[in-house]
Amino acid sequence: MARACRVYRLQVNPVANVEKPRLAVPGAIDVFSPEEVHVLVRAAALEQDAAILLTAAFTGLRQGELVALRWRDVDFAGSYIRVTASYTNGELSTPKSGKVRSVPMAPEVTEALARLGQRERFVRPNGLVFLGQVGGLSTRRRSSAATALRCAQPACDRCAFTISATFGTR
């Protein structure tokens, strides 16, 4: 605010006497064990939902990155996923870091995505891996990724939102 006062030549800083709130010290991230991930996967209603959960847990991709993932970005031979885009706030954009990155695929992820790639439609290289209700990105319902994460919550005591944090901590 001091900068705003200088730039806009304010006579008085309107928030000078406001006390800063104390921020809670961040604790440890409560992540899922591999066994808990498999409980969530078994609780998934659809094969695609199970694949989303496995991919989130064992690659660390964010929800928007999962939604934007295309078959051309899945390298089965090299066993990695190239993260090139994210679907956030109703728009396709770059990943949060602003950079393309590659993440390794665990064998379970490779197998789940290979099975998903056997579906009859929507598997061309430019096609989305995880489809919305009508075969593309869905702006009405963020994606089946969001639905899978919400529906999986009863299968485990912790919030399903932390599933992608599992990858980086194991």
Task: Output the pLDDT for position 162.
Answer: 58
More confident residue, 18 or 28: 18
CA 45, CA 4: separation in Å to the nearest integer?
Answer: 52
Q: Decide if 105 contacts 113 (C-beta within 8 A).
A: yes
The rounded percent of the chain whose pLDDT value lies above 90 is 25
Give me the chain's average pLDDT, please: 79
- Identity (one letter) of the amino acid at 74? V
Task: Output the pLDDT for position 108.
Answer: 94
Q: For 79-116, what is each residue's pLDDT tens digit?
A: 999 999 998 888 888 888 888 999 999 999 999 999 99
Q: For 143-161, what is each residue's pLDDT tens digit?
A: 455 555 555 555 454 544 4
Q: Is the pLDDT of residue 1 over 50?
A: yes
Comparing CA positions, the residue from 26, 93, 35, 97 lying closest to residue 60 is 97
